[in-house]
Structure 1
Amino acid sequence: MRPIHRRYLREFFTAMGAYVVLIVLYGALAPRLPTSSWRFVLAIAPLLPVTGVIRAVVRLIRDEDELERRIDLEAFAIAAMVTGFGFFSYGLLLSVGAFPAPPAFLVAILVMPGLFGSYGLARWAVSRRYART
């Protein structure tokens, strides 16, 4: 594994660990707090480690070679389109009552994890395609 990938994994897992801790605290404490500025702070606290994940991804792509950048660009394009299509389709189906409507905040919260997950799958698929050629 190249040093840039080790750095990425270290930064990514550190940020994700902090995210998990903060999102669990948010889930456990937010319902118990009265409406206050502390509740607001608790709600936005998980965004800080997410910016660390974004920073790690940007640094990785900046330092990759041309082929790795191409793979990431294709994977991001696929992930963005799949995620957008999925949420758009879900919204259309919700509009005709095909599913019981979840709270809007829940749908909004799932966009970023959906994008990250679809990027991971797309990157795996694109990498396999380039490995065969």
Structure 2
Amino acid sequence: MRAVHKRYLREFIPAMVGYVVLIFGSVWMLKRVDTGWLRAAITLLPIIPIAFVIRAMVRVIRDQDELERRIDLEAIAIAGALSGFGFFSYGLLLNAGTLPAPPAEAVAIWVMPVLMGTFGIVKCGMSQYYRRR
């Protein structure tokens, strides 16, 4: 494993551990707090480690070689398009009344995980594509 990827893991893993801890902690604390502004602050706590994840992703993309950078940037572009297309299609189906409508927050909370999951899948495909070329 190259040094750039080792650094990425050193930054990514603690941030994700922090995210998991803050998700569980914020859910636990929200059951005990009624003040509006405090609930908002507690709810937003898990985005702090996600900002560090994004920082780690940007740093690894900047420090990779040209092919790795191309794979990552193509993968995030394709993942963004596919995720956006999927959410747009879902919205159209909801608007037509063909699916039961979940609460908006139930949909909104899945945007980032779907984008990142799609990015991972597309990146695997892009890596295979460039290996075969």
> What residue is the counterpart of 1:113 in the other structure?
113
Deviation at 1:28, TM superposition (A): 2.5
Does 2:124 correspond to 1:124?
Answer: yes
Secondary structure of residue in 1 paired with 2:101: coil
Deviation at 1:102, TM superposition (A): 1.1
Deviation at 1:103, TM superposition (A): 1.1
Partners of 2:61 and 2:91 lie apart in 1 by 32
Secondary structure of residue in 2 paired with 1:32: coil
> What residue is the counterpart of 2:19 in the other structure?
19
Secondary structure of residue in 2 paired with 1:62: helix
> What residue is the counterpart of 1:47 in the other structure?
47
What 5-or-longer segments of structure 2 have no aligned partner?
none
Aligned length: 133
Partners of 1:63 and 1:38 lie apart in 2 by 39
> What residue is the counterpart of 1:98 in the other structure?
98
Q: Which amino acid aligns with 1:103?
A: P
Q: Which amino acid aligns with 2:113?
A: P
TM-score (ref. length: structure 2):
0.95
Decide which moves more: 117-126 or 22-31: 22-31
Does 2:98 correspond to 1:89?
Answer: no
TM-score (ref. length: structure 1):
0.95
Secondary structure of residue in 1 paired with 2:102: coil
Q: Which amino acid aligns with 2:2?
A: R
